[in-house]
Structure 1
Amino acid sequence: MVPDQPEPPSTLLDPASTAMGELLAEAWREGTLVLPLREDASPLRLPGLHKSVLPASLSGQARVTLAGVGERFAAWRVIPQQNAPVIVRIPHVTPAELHQDLAHEIAALTLLPAEVGPEPIAVHDDPATSPIGHPYVVTSEIPGTAASPATWTGAHLQAHAGHLALLHAVPAPGRGPVSLGTDPWAAVAPGPQHLLPEVEAEIESWQLAHGAAIQEHGIGPLLEAARAEVAAVDGEIAQLDGFVLAHGDLCATNILWHGIDQATGAPGVQYIDFEWAQGDDPARDLANLGGAVHGGPWYVPLAEEQVDDFVRAYVRARGERGELPASVSDVASLRRRMRAWTAYERSAMLVHVASRASTRSTHARVLPTLRRTLAATLGIAV
């Protein structure tokens, strides 16, 4: 949710370059990509992979292709000769500029119910000792493709709602990161879990880093309106009963579709890119999909009736898995919090898009729609 960040030092290989692909192939061949690098960063799961084959020159050969480049990470597909493909995700911002340490992402993956997302394999968050000069995470590959926002149907919404309920069946004690070790919630602070201080600090940081873009595109009034939306429900969020393991960035580009679920007949769905995963308000993941505020490949345009259907399907699916906490059963509060999360998250994305609009044509195209729809939802004339 943090806007555009500075580029990494020029002495490092571009995470999306051909040279990086060659370096990944070399690291796999030498057995350094997923071997234990320190005690808490050893590989966690890799079905069918045995360390004994990694150093061997024949069994260590792998084909490496660029799977995609997102807003923060380059993703590489490593296809070994004798094992299943894996995905190596390399940030193209420095470690200090990431939302959280990569180890927290891997820790969150260890808590996922089966078939929700990728299997965690390895993490190396120290660039000084990394075999590729960057921090990275390694996970299993998830088959499928993201559906463009305009192609989402009611079947997609229903399937996503059910799958999200499965993810949210993992309870959390509050808002905060997942940690490796015996207590995955050791880093979650006890007590009320206020959101407003985080939002105010983020807005201040955006204004410092991107003040010119915010002024040029008239975003200042939208940020103040977004802050007010969060302030209105901060007390509800602080006293929630029923925090969950949340994805944190569950927009359309992080939802993959593959085939048909044989048990339900619904489109098969899984989630990727858990870099924002943590204990959180379930309303956050519901709001990230889209709705009235949309733009670009990330957000699905939805009428209010479609949002209602989506939320009802989610609540129903959660109820089928056990007693509903108040964070879900109070649907009116859930919807109010979704509105606040929409204001916060889309404001962050609007600043990010505005900061890149002068150099990236795709962001320049998205900017007017995202700004217009957010302003309309917040009641700001533009």
Structure 2
Amino acid sequence: MKKIKWYLLSSLIPLFFPVFIIIIIMGAVGGGSTGGSFQSPNGSTYTDHWSNGDPYTHNLLVHRYGIKAEQLDGFLDTLGISYDKKRINGKKLLDWEAKSNLDVRAIVAIALNESSFGTAGVATNPGSNMFGFGSFDSNPENANNFNDEVAVVRLTNQTIIGNKNETFKVQDDKAQKFASGSLNTSTDGGVYFTDTSGSGKRRAETMQKLDTYIDEHGGTPKAPEQTTGKTRDGGGVTTGDVPQGYSLTIEINTSSYTGLSYPWGQCTWFVYNRGKEVGVSFGEYMGNGGQWMNAPGYQTTHTPTEHSALSFSPRQAGADPTYGHIAFVEQVKSDGSILISESNVKGLGVISYRTFDAETAKQFTYVIGK
């Protein structure tokens, strides 16, 4: 396995330690408790402060609603670091949160502890990123291929979600397991960093400081409750192929499906056309199934959403180890379980169905059509 390493300046304060990361894209994505949280109409999940009581066990895909750019800028300025305000600022941080679905407080914590907001190590290279994403021991300059925005999106999807690292405590625990040789990547997911000095705890402490600063500088409003009615238990169309207890809103008829940029019979061909069939639009050039979650201009969420595209990472839930997979969400039931339709699982152009229970469904990435 290759390691990703952050080369930091020796003059930095002790908060900043070199961190080693291994990215292993495998297995199903991991979930985390979101107790006390709720979903907004746009699919993001919010909580008043922390999803599970404290920042160390907080699910990093759950957000604090209504954080302002001015509050983030104010906190950054209190740290006494001569960072580039055009490169990182409150407005950009909130934009990165929206595109990656990673809690903005976690984005700040990772950028601070990895590169002191881009002022240290490989993060100072032209085109490189402040999160150290893509910086291998044997080729640290590889980080130059990922700018800050690309890095935070891929870091979220590959390292946080794909490798089941959705809390800072999990990251520390898995580093310890890796050091002792007891980490089972097939069940635990890949390790985030191999440093065992408590990098996750330090990041959680940064999140807490930022959260406290927000409280002391205007706080945040209460998040709106979900009122969109995204669940459907009854009604619709059933056929002999649809699993018992589930249904489609309208029948699937592939006779009118077109090829465009997606080869006939492939999973991408089906989801693009199925979307059109129910009145949802996806782009003609969104790439392989696993790439749809990173397609620019499309909202993603981990909240199961009817008539969205479910983008599987490589190997996730049996997806292709190189290209990933894409499926279409036909139904979300009130118990949180989902029905998906998909092509080319049982053969090219063959449409089949699968169901997932609520806990599993929360682990996937859903792409919202237009």
TM-score tier, shorter chain, comes to under 0.3
TM-score normalized by structure 1? 0.23
